[in-house]
Amino acid sequence: MKLTRRRFLQNAGITAAALATWKIPKGVLASPVPAATMASGLPGSLGAQEVTSVCEMCFWRCLLTGKIKNGRLVKLEGNPKSPANGTKLCARGNAGIKLLYDPDRLKYPMKRVGTRGEGKWQRITWDEALDTTAENLNRIKKEHGMESLALFYHGASAKFIEPFWHHIGNPNRTEPAFFQCRGSRDIGYLLTFGDSPGSPERMDMEKTRLMVFLGTHLGENIHVSHVMHYIEGLCNGAKLVVVDPRFSASAAKADKWLAIRPGTDTALLLAWINYIIQHGLYDKEFVAKYTTGFKKLKDSVKDCTLDWAAGLTDIPAGQIKETAELMGKLAPHVVIHCGRFVAWYGNDTQRSRALAILAAILGTYGVEGGMYLKSKPPRPKASLFQSDEEESDLEPISDKWPFPPPGTPSEGLIEATLTGKPYPIKSWVIWGTNTIQTIPASHRTIEALKKLDFVLAVDQIPNDQTLFADIILPQCTYLERYDTVYVWKDVKVPYLSVRQPMVKPLYESRDPYWITKQLAERLGYSDCFPYKDAKEYAEKKLESVDLSLEKLNKEGGVVTFQGRPYFTRENPPEFDTSDGKVQLYSEEMEDEDLDPIPRFEPTPAPPKGYVRLLSGRTPVHTFTRTRNNVWLNAEQSENDLWLNDKVAKKLGIKNGEEVCMENQRGVKTRPIKVKVTPGIRWDCVYIVHGYGQLSRHLTQAYHKGVSDGLTFAKNTLDPVTGANAMRVNFVRLIKDGKVLEMPELGPLPSGIPRFQM
Ligand SMILES: Nc1nc2c(c(=O)[nH]1)N[C@H]1C(S)=C(S)[C@@H](COP(=O)(O)OP(=O)(O)OC[C@H]3O[C@@H](n4cnc5c(=O)[nH]c(N)nc54)[C@H](O)[C@@H]3O)O[C@H]1N2
Ligand SMILES: Nc1nc2c(c(=O)[nH]1)N[C@H]1C(S)=C(S)[C@@H](COP(=O)(O)OP(=O)(O)OC[C@H]3O[C@@H](n4cnc5c(=O)[nH]c(N)nc54)[C@H](O)[C@@H]3O)O[C@H]1N2
Ligand code: SF4
Ligand SMILES: [Mo]
């Protein structure tokens, strides 16, 4: 039976479908966690000396213990009972305390008194802020319809507003941090395996014999337990192949660093697949039993030879061959890392499909040292709403794309705001996401923000996007509130925990449940959010799985369950696809006139005189949200510009000198220090994302370093998902007021066109 697109998404389980109610079945709990050594058993009672909770300095959500003295949080540590991070936190996790006590925090509700973008505000009361917001949203809804109200959201704090938007039947909500992150990857894997690789990615690195990373730069990209597994794998003797135009922290640990021409990864993947098939290095039993379309795949990639790929990727054919042979030799105990941030070139779903296909033919799925399986722990459930979800016949803007992840691609909402098509968007509610730096082509986002009838921003610090809001609501931090109950299932030992406050909310900040409930009531939905507060909601959820806050705290703030990481005789392979098999050839894609097997589609090369602008992570910061943190700022307050040493020599630029970048639209950046290094190709430069904030209210971060996001001028969308690509922008350098044409140190292959200015 063929699937329509909608049924595919439903089957894939990634729509906001109702969750099954579970009780903890007998025997499911893993060996009980010993009782914690809490000074006082009751977290949330503010006299307690230690409180367990969940980190949100990034959304990996490591488990925490906070030490409190005289009502002040004095130290954060990893929760020793955590089966994932144990006692360890990363630098950002440790520094959460400096977010809590950041003097620049949003303290009171405010209204705009200057023009949008100016950041001139006046303190108002909560009543005035909520009433003004509701009046505006109700008025706009009456004049232009529900669909004219858009929600931009991210993170734990949006776990109430996002379902609310859904509940009232408004399709116009976007999570830029999903679309512009892993959205296309998840769709690529769902189309192949009927399953996404999860979060954390289910890569069995500690048990593997070989890891293959394309762009993934673990060590700079930090997730405590993921990095621990990676290091454990290396210590256990696993080999590492890193494909990256830059000598990343992972490349530094690699057995093979393949310095690929940016944008050509799909060619490399297809050549690997072809070589592995032609030389019989694939898992014949797995392919025969569990996949469809192998013959079509074999035919489709037959011309993707080593020499063809070498020309495109600039990786010597011998290295492509050698690494393909290594994969064949060590399969199936090979981690083909699915990556996380994949919004690269606009053909990212197809590249993710190619990764998934490579992982499949090597037989790595559900195998020790490959890609382990999602667990099925009990799922706590308690309804946030007393009424049924409202039926909606509104036309979702996302229908323009064949397989969008849930919600609307961010660009769809920006376009509709700017053009009024397919219908006007008149108001944005921005909740926990930096719309200015996170979505490429910021000049368009800013233009859209200026055009809107009403903008609400809910945040904890006066970050870039708050400058454009009419009303700003101060949310308390993750250390001052209850949130929902979390269950980790993309881990080998699944576990459950809950976020609980360590101290009372400071100033007039309020928690997300309270704010959402207040807004819902004022918008005429008093049947939503029936609980007194987020604590009661957490209790109800825990009750549904025979737990309570008290029981959980007795267990040290975490309960673990049994996982099922690998296929076994009792747990044989099964795939949630249309025919129950791994789709090497995708009929769903064919039905949508998309390539059913990935093909190499070149992304335009830099125009003459320019290089490609690349960006990524630093271990001590998370996007823009931590730049104002005084400890983390002290660690790394600015970014630098990685420039190839030979290029630097030709341009006469020395290490540590300052230059500006100019993008292909002629927009110039602030000065940035150059890091001259052989560790980056000549055809690109690299900066860390998250710097160069525009808000002067952030006294630590204001105008420190240079923003990649504000330098991205171009708007290239993945045709499958509608996600924006980030690596399609070009810059040249300006030194002492003089524009420097970037030299070309190698030929451009005939198969790759140049970007037309
Ligand atoms: N230019 C560029 N853009 C990117 C990327 C890139 O590398 N470069 N990476 C992409 C990726 S992978 C991702 S995941 C996204 C991340 O995108 P975002 O999550 O939007 O990134 P941040 O810049 O951290 O912005 C988060 C905002 O939420 C606020 N916030 C944090 N916690 C809370 C809270 O509890 N309550 C409320 N109300 N607000 C809170 C922060 O103060 C901050 O203003 O960005 C994507 N966009
Ligand atoms: N400390 C810290 N850790 C984080 C985050 C954070 O903000 N701070 N964010 C988290 C999130 S949400 C995400 S999505 C991940 C993102 O982290 P990852 O998914 O690991 O990394 P990316 O940001 O995609 O990739 C950056 C790397 O890709 C390389 N690259 C650039 N162009 C190409 C290319 O064409 N081909 C190849 N093969 N490589 C290329 C860059 O040189 C760089 O080394 O990090 C997570 N971890
Ligand atoms: S990786 Fe670091 S910042 Fe992220 S949740 Fe864990 S400790 Fe917190
Ligand atoms: Mo991300």
Domain residue extents for the chain: 32-101+479-509+531-560, 105-175+407-475+510-530, 182-375, 611-740
Instruction: Check if the beta carbon of residue 262 is closer than 8 Å to that of residue 746.
Output: no
From residue 700, alpha-carbon distances to 61, 118, 138, 411, 690 in Å are 25, 18, 38, 31, 13
Bridge partners (DSSP) of residue 69 are 72
Q: Which of 667, 665, 664, 615 is nearest to 639 (CA)?
A: 615
Q: Whose Cα sits closest to atom 33 in ligand 2?
A: 262
For ligand 3, whether the C-beta of 93 sits within 6 Å is yes
Residue ID of nearest Cα to ligand 2 atom 41: 215
Ligand nearest to the CA of 340: 2
Distance of CA 674 to the CA centre of its chain: 28
DSSP string, 290-330: HEE-HHHHHHHTTT--HHHHHHHH---HHHHHHHHHHHHHH
pLDDT for res 187: 97
pLDDT(29) > 70: no
CA distance 28 to 84: 19
Atom number, ligand 3, closest to the C-alpha of residue 94? 7
3-state SS, residue 193: helix
- For the segment 698-705, the average pLDDT, to the nearest whole number, is 96
Number of the ligand closest to the Cα of 94: 3
Confidence at 42, pLDDT banded by 50, 70, 90 = very low
Instruction: Please state the pTM of the whole predicted model.
Output: 0.94
More confident residue, 370 or 16: 370
pLDDT (tens digit per residue) in 100-129? 999 999 999 999 999 999 999 999 999 999
Please give the pLDDT value at position 660. 98
Which residues does ligand 1 sit against, CB inside 6 Å? 56, 154-155, 157, 176-177, 180-181, 341, 431-434, 437-438, 458-461, 463, 475, 478, 615, 622-625, 689, 708-709, 712, 726
217 lines ligand 2 (CB under 6 A): yes
CA distances from 417 to 425, 427, 448, 453 (A): 5, 9, 6, 10
Average pLDDT on 651-662 reads 98
Cα(657) to ligand 4 centroid in Å equals 31
Distance CA 470, CA 30 (A): 50
Give distance in angstroms: CA of 497 to centre of ligand 2. 28
Residue entry with tokens 């049947």:
527
| CATH, domain 105-175+407-475+510-530, list 3.90.1010.10, 3.90.800.10, 3.40.50.740, 2.160.10.10 | 3.40.50.740
At residue 59 the predicted structure's pLDDT band, cuts being 50, 70 and 90, is confident
pLDDT band at residue 389, thresholds of 50, 70 and 90? confident
Q: Domain 182-375 adopts which CATH fold?
A: Dimethylsulfoxide Reductase; domain 2 (3.40.228)
Burial 702-722 (b: 16+ CB within 10 A, else e): bebbbbbbbbbbbbbbbbbbb
Whether the CB of 622 sits within 6 Å of ligand 2:
yes
The answer to whether 225 and 219 are in contact (CB under 8 A) is: no
Note the pLDDT of residue 12: 40
The pLDDT score that the predictor gives to residue 37 is 35
Closest residue by Cα to atom 4, ligand 1, is 438
* pLDDT value of residue 388: 87
Would the CB of 621 count as within 6 Å of ligand 3?
no
Q: Which residue has the higher pLDDT, 43 or 327?
A: 327
From the alpha carbon of 340, which atom of ligand 2 is closest?
19
Q: What is the pLDDT of residues 523-556, one digit of tens each?
A: 999 999 999 999 999 999 999 999 999 999 999 9
Contact 471, 458 (CB under 8 A): no
Is 611-740 assigned to CATH 2.30.42.10?
no
Rounded to the nearest 10 degrees, what angle do helices 512-522 and 126-144 cross at?
50
Q: Is 189 helix (H, G, I), strand (E, B) or coil?
A: helix
Task: Tell me how far apart the alpha carbons of residues 756 and 746 are, in angstroms, rounded to a whole number.
Answer: 19
Residue nearest (by alpha carbon) to ligand 1 atom 15: 177
**422 prior amide bond cis, ω within 30:** yes
| Beta-bridge mates of residue 615 | 687
Furthest C-alpha separation in the chain: 72
Q: Is the CB of 606 under 6 A from ligand 2?
A: no
Topology alike, domains 105-175+407-475+510-530 and 611-740: no
Protein residue with least CA distance to atom 34, ligand 2: 262
pLDDT reading at 261 higher than 70: yes
Among left, alpha and beta (phi > 0; psi -120 to 50; other), residue 245 is alpha
pLDDT-derived band at 228, boundaries 50, 70, 90: very high
- What is the CA(180)–ligand 4 centre distance, in A? 7
Atom number of ligand 1 nearest to Cα 154: 19
Using the predicted structure, report yes or no on whether residue 47 has a pLDDT greater than 60: no
Test site for ligand 1: of 92, 162, 481, 625, most ligand atoms within 8 A of the Cβ: 625
For domain 32-101+479-509+531-560, give the CATH superfamily.
ADC-like domains (2.20.25.90)
Average pLDDT estimate for 61-70: 96
Nearest to 384 by CA among 517, 518, 550: 517
Whether residue 90 has its Cβ less than 6 Å from ligand 3? yes
